[in-house]
Amino acid sequence: MKIDLLDESIMALISEMETSAFHLLDLKDRAKGSISNKGGYLYRQWREGNKWKYERIEGNFKTQVVRLNDLKNQYRRERERIRKLNKILIKAGFFAVSSLPEQILNLLSSKRVISEHGILVGSFAFFAYQTALGFSLGKSLTRTSDIDLVRPPEMQLAVRQINLANILDRLKIPYKPDGPGGRAVRYVFQDGFKVEVLYPHIKGRPKGIVSPQHSGFADIGAQELRFLNPLTVDPIQTVLVGKKGPIPVIVPNPTRFLLHKLAVSSLRKQPSKIVKDIAQAEIIAHAMNERAMLPDVKEVMTNFRGRKIEKYLASGIERLKARNRKLGQILRDYFQV
């Protein structure tokens, strides 16, 4: 197996784009709307969905109008700059998200669902490791039909619940709720593409569905997933490469994602999903090994202790070893320490 690792100049560009993309989210919020003068008071006003929002401000009307217009111009210039940086990454061979997934991810990021108050997991998190670890994925392993989200309890403190349907309605693309037993855990669009909500499985109880009260979303529950807890520890900020520009996201620490993929591969019933899990794990392990990051696995292994998870993780490591003897042996040695 061979993947293309990027040189230091591209890594420096990625670092700049990550910082700028998150700054752009804040700048967009500060630059939106217009200035109004009502009853002798100044307000910044803007629309959110079908409602007007107002923020009272101080100062001179003309001065505030000039200040807001300056912010708008600054936002447009910065947006164009990072879009140019994004194009460089696409030319370097990065896989770029496009079409409906890009629209959804951009919306979820701009509304802080996956850029502040929640974590993007699953295949789209894997795509984001292109920038986090500095490798070119090309077109391999880029097929997926869902966006997976999780809002662990510690990320629900500032904003207890988010109405996901209200956000997705802004796309003006039809979708419907779906889930086992009539309990919605995902929204399905007409072409079958899904936005699914996950939640860490609570030890000692059968795997099932948690209510909106616990999922972090006011309108939809969440499907419990085993071994998800370690993914929510120490997540990182990075960007997904999109066709139209970078998408700021929070994703699991890549070391934890690697071990999670190895463990869940042992739970899969579909051979194609097992192959996909191990292939993703191999790419991440290879990139981390080339960048001298694989020793981080030793410390993170402590979060993957327990009779069942150790059993499944050991099986996953053996699968990786059968595919890549060198990487499998390194992880096996760490696991047995």
Q: Which of 44-53, 197-206, 219-228 has the lowest mean pLDDT?
A: 197-206
The pLDDT, as a whole number, for residue 114 is 98
**Strand positions, DSSP E, the chain:** 4-5, 34-38, 41-48, 51-57, 119-121, 135-136, 146-150, 175-178, 186-189, 194-200, 209-210, 222-225, 236-241, 246-251
Could you report the per-residue pLDDT of 104-162, keeping only the tens digit for each?
999 999 999 999 999 999 999 999 999 999 888 877 788 899 999 999 999 999 899 99
Could you report the per-residue pLDDT of 249-295, keeping only the tens digit for each?
999 999 999 999 999 999 888 899 999 999 999 999 999 998 899 88
| pLDDT of 80 above 60 | yes
The pLDDT, as a whole number, for residue 205 is 63
The pLDDT, as a whole number, for residue 226 is 85
Question: Structure pTM?
Answer: 0.92
| pLDDT of 67 above 80 | yes
Share of the chain above pLDDT 90, in %: 72
The pLDDT, as a whole number, for residue 2 is 58
pLDDT band at 303 (very low <50, low <70, confident <90, very high): confident
| pLDDT of 1 above 60 | no
What mean pLDDT comes out for the span 232-240?
95
The pLDDT, as a whole number, for residue 3 is 67
The pLDDT, as a whole number, for residue 43 is 93
Cα–Cα distance between 150 and 69 in angstroms, integer?
37
The pLDDT, as a whole number, for residue 324 is 94
pLDDT band at 84 (very low <50, low <70, confident <90, very high): very high
Burial code (b: 16+ CB inside 10 Å, e: under 16) for 295-320 equals ebbeebbebbeeeebeebbbebbebb
| pLDDT of 334 above 80 | yes
Give the residue among 72, 62, 61, 63 at the shortest CA–CA distance from 32: 72
Specify which residues 248 forms β-bridges with: 239
Average pLDDT of the chain to the nearest whole number: 91
pLDDT band at 227 (very low <50, low <70, confident <90, very high): confident
DSSP 303: G
Q: Which of 237-251, 276-290, 297-311 has the lowest mean pLDDT?
A: 297-311
The distance from CA 166 to its chain's CA centroid, rounded to whole angstroms, is 20
Q: Which of 47-56, 124-133, 325-334 has the lowest mean pLDDT?
A: 47-56
The pLDDT, as a whole number, for residue 103 is 97
The pLDDT, as a whole number, for residue 332 is 92
| pLDDT of 337 above 60 | no
Could you report the per-residue pLDDT of 21-40, keeping only the tens digit for each?
999 999 999 999 999 998 88
What is the phi/psi pair of residue 99, to 5°?
A: 60, -140
Q: Which of 208-212, 240-244, 248-252, 323-327 has the lowest mean pLDDT?
A: 208-212
